[in-house]
Every structure is written in structure tokens, then in C-alpha cells.
Amino acid sequence: MIAIQLTNTRAWLEAHQRLVLAAAAITAIAYPFVVKPYILSLGIEVLIFAIFAMSLDLLLGYTGLPSFGHAAFFGLGAYIVAYMTSRNELALGLTDNLLLALPVVLLATALVAVVVGFFALRTSGIYFLMITLAFAQMLFSIAIRWSSVTGGSDGLTGVPRPALGLGGFTYAFESRESFYFLVLGLFLTVWLLLRRIVSSPFGMTLRGIRENEQRMRALGYNTFRYKTAAFALAGMFASVSGLLLAQYFWHAAPQNLYWAMSGQVLIMLVVGGTGTLTGPILGAALMRLLPNFASTYTDRWQTLLGLVLIMFVLFAPKGIVGVLRGGRKQP
């Protein structure tokens, strides 16, 4: 019953696409001015985690690579930008300019991803999962131990909100409202880029690898290279979300690299639905919002989260997206 109703809703949404888009745009623009700061903060977090979850889906949903160490790239984004831009005795404090910091973060994570991928991508399935987990935990322990650079268990504090500087023009995203628009802009950019990528020949190649890697090799594909490219792209997009979180909370923390963070983003995918871009967005929204609302009613909100996860795994293994699609066959 619910599935049928939702399918009808979806049909209505598709029939009135312009109206829906206009409504979404107005909501997104008006949002920071009409809601309470606390709710605005939640919206910013949801968008940041949506970027993180979409980046993992490129690996898990599209290429079939179950990474349990995706927090490594999230944390790298946070720590690199913190080390470059923070004005404290540990960090360099070089620049606030996002146009300088972002390329460095992207390049550095891509390099790390290629090196890690070189080893991890020789394995698959549970072994790939364990290697990526081990790598992320290694970074976590470096962040804890190497306190002269990383700030140890305190992490790096004093990360400034970024500015956009081009020539003589500078705009600083100091306020929460302006930072919201930066996050929204980057979220939309990543979403549009990923939409392009997953429907491109390269994206089809990744799906082919997910479906049957042996056959891809028989067709002449050097699958290792394509998997490395996917791993690097996913790492780069994840680093964008890590960078934004560090800038939002003025802080890069070891928890950004911890396995629980990798687990959290995996749960977002399971709940939202893999192999789509809508799934990770919905999953990120649900898993960030639910604890906040549930914790106002009960102290046992973590139990509730666990139950929600179990329900999804048992009754909706294709996540929210699977429920919305109802009986419809996946294209």
C-alpha cells in the first residue's frame, strides 16, 4: 500500500518537474533565513554528509568495491585543510582562500588514493574491506600519536571558515548563512559531476566491473586502472566533505578518520540505497536527522537507530530508494 502511494507521488513529481525544481530552489535559498540556527546547522551537516555518502557510492554502488575505510579520505580532507589554514602554533596558517586550499586537498587525496589503491585494489570482497579498514585505522593512529603535527587526540583547532579570493576580489564565508550557501554550491557541483560520471562511458565501465570483472578483462579492459581511477575520484569527493566539516566546526578531529565514521557512511548507503545518487542523499539526511529528533524524546536513540538499520536490512534491502521505486524494475 505504502509503496503504491509513493509510486503515485513519484509519478506526480515526474510530471511536474519544473514546478518541483522551482519549489526546491526557493526552499533551498530561503532555508537559512527562515529556520532556527540549530535547524540550519542540521541542514549544513546533512549536505556535507550527502557529499561523503555519494562519494562512497561511486565505489560501493557503482563499482562494487566495499570500502570500510572511506573515513580515511574524509579525515584527510579535514586534516590537510586544517594544517594548511589553521592559525595555531602547530599548523601553517597559509591561506583562507578556498581556491588555493581545495586544489591542494584534492591533489593530495588523489595521490594517497592511488598509492593505497595500488595495494588494496589487488584484492576484492571481504579482503578489500579489511585492507581499506586497516589503512584508515592506520591514519587514525597516526593522527592520535603524531601530536606535534596533528594535535593528537585534540585534533587541529582554529580552522578558519574559507574565503573565495580571485584577483582583487575576496568574499569570506564567515557567517553560518553564507557558509550554508558554500556547502549547497559544492553539494550541487559534486552531485552534478557524479551524475555525469555515472552515466558516462567511464561510469558504464565501472558498472561492468561491478557486474563481471572477468568478462571486462576478456573484452580488453585493464580493470585495475579503472578501479584505481574510481578509487581516486571517490577519495577526492570524500575529501571535499571532510574539508567542509572541518571548516564548519573550526576543527579537524581524529574521529573524522575513525572506523565508526566509515561505518556511519556505509549505514547511510544501506539505508538510502546503493547504486543511485538519490539513495546516499536520502540516507545521509535520515541518519543525521533521526538521532537529533529521537534524542529529544528518548535517551535510547542509539537503540532506535540500530532497529531502523535492522528493519532496512530485513525488509528494504534496496534502501529508501528501493521503497520509493516500489515494484518498478530498475532501469
Q: Which residues bind another protein (CB under 8 A)?
A: 196-197, 199-205, 207-208, 211-212, 214-223, 226, 329
Q: Looking at beta carbons only, is 98 or 209 nearer to another protein?
A: 209
Least Cβ distance, residue 329 to another protein (angstroms): 7
With a CB cutoff of 8 Å and minimum separation 6, the contacts of 227 are 63, 65, 117, 121, 209
Q: Looking at beta carbons only, is 79 or 226 nearer to another protein?
A: 226
Q: Check residue 31 and give left, alpha or beta (phi > 0: left; psi -120 to 50: alpha).
A: alpha
With a CB cutoff of 8 Å and minimum separation 6, the contacts of 186 are 51, 240, 244
- How deeply is 255 buried, as exposed, middle or buried, from its count of CB atoms within 10 A (0-12, 13-18, 19+)? middle
Q: Looking at beta carbons only, is 25 or 219 nearer to another protein?
A: 219
Which stretches of the chain are DSSP H helices?
A: 2-15, 17-34, 37-57, 71-85, 98-120, 125-145, 147-150, 176-199, 201-218, 223-248, 259-272, 278-297, 301-315, 319-325
Q: Which three cell numbers stand for residue 162?
A: 574559507
Provide the residue count of the chain. Answer: 331
Least Cβ distance, residue 199 to another protein (angstroms): 5
Amino acid letter, residue 234? A
Least Cβ distance, residue 207 to another protein (angstroms): 7
Question: Is-contact 121 128, C-beta < 8 A?
Answer: yes
CA 26 from centre of chain: 24
Q: How far apart, in whole angstroms, are the C-alpha atoms of residue 279 and residue 296? A: 26
Q: Looking at beta carbons only, is 111 or 219 nearer to another protein?
A: 219
Q: Looking at beta carbons only, is 168 or 331 nearer to another protein?
A: 331
Q: Looking at beta carbons only, is 188 or 204 nearer to another protein?
A: 204
At residue 21, what are phi and psi to the nearest 5 degrees? -60, -45
Least Cβ distance, residue 197 to another protein (angstroms): 6
- Secondary structure (H, E, C), 246-313: HHHCCEECHHHHCHHHHHHHHHHHHHHCCCCCHHHHHHHHHHHHHHHHHHHHCCCHHHHHHHHHHHHH
Q: Looking at beta carbons only, is 200 or 298 nearer to another protein?
A: 200
Least Cβ distance, residue 227 to another protein (angstroms): 13
Least Cβ distance, residue 214 to another protein (angstroms): 6
Helix 17-34 with 2-15: angle, nearest 10 deg = 100
Q: Looking at beta carbons only, is 87 or 195 nearer to another protein?
A: 195
Least Cβ distance, residue 78 to another protein (angstroms): 26
Least Cβ distance, residue 87 to another protein (angstroms): 37
